[in-house]
Amino acid sequence: MIDFAAIDFETANQHRTSVCSVGLVVVKNGEITERFYSLIKPEPDYYLYWNTRVHGLTAQDTFKAPVFPDVWRQIEPLIEGLPLIAHNRPFDEGCLKAVFKMYGLDYPDYPFHCTLQAARKQLKQLPNHQLHTVAEYCGYYLDQHHHALADAEACAWIARELFI
C-alpha cells in the first residue's frame, strides 16, 4: 500500500460525535503529498476537563470553527479513492461514522486500516504500542502528541514502514 491517507481526530468529550479537530496526511507513491488540519465545532459542544488536558483544546478554540460537514467537504477530494489509516482505527473510524450519522450524511464505507494493530503483530519487541513509541521506532519523533495533524503524520510514517 503506497497510496493512503492517515487521519486522526480529537474529541471534546466522551461522545464520538464531538470531534473538535482533524488531521490528515495524504501519501502517494510512498511520499507525503498533502497535509490538512482543521478545528471543528464539536457536537455536543462542550469540553470535558480530561479531554482538554489531553489535547489542550477548549471551547474558546472552536467557538467560531466550522461544523463537520463543512470541513469534510474540504477533505473529501483529498482522500478520493484512498484507503484511510489510523492508529487505533476503532476510535477514529468510530468518530467518522458517528459524525456522518449525526449530520445525516451517507457514509461511503471507507476502507480503514490500523497501524496499532499492525504494530502489535509486527513489532512485538517494543515495550508498548502507543503512537509515540511506534513512531519513534519508525524514525519519527512525535513532539506534539495529541495534536491531530502531528498524530496523523506519525501514523503516516508508521504506515510507510509497516504497510509498504
Q: Is 152 helix (H, G, I), strand (E, B) or coil?
A: helix
Q: Which tens digits make up the pLDDT trace of 13-58?
A: 999 999 999 999 999 999 999 999 999 999 999 999 999 999 999 9
C-alpha span between 123 and 120 (Å, rounded): 6
Q: What is the CATH number of the domain that holds 18?
A: 3.30.420.10
**Position 164 pLDDT exceeds 80:** no
Domain count, the chain: 1
Q: Which tens digits make up the pLDDT trace of 69-118?
A: 999 999 999 999 999 999 999 999 999 999 999 999 999 999 999 999 99
C-alpha cell at 71: 470541513
pLDDT at position 133: 97
Q: Give the residue numbers spanning the domain of 14.
A: 4-162
φ, ψ for residue 99 (rounded to 5)? -75, -35
C-alpha span between 50 and 46 (Å, rounded): 12
State the pairing for strand pair 4-11/84-86: parallel
CA neighbor of 53 nearest in space, from 95, 13, 18: 13
Cβ atoms of 6 and 153 within 8 Å: the answer is: yes
C-alpha span between 7 and 12 (Å, rounded): 17
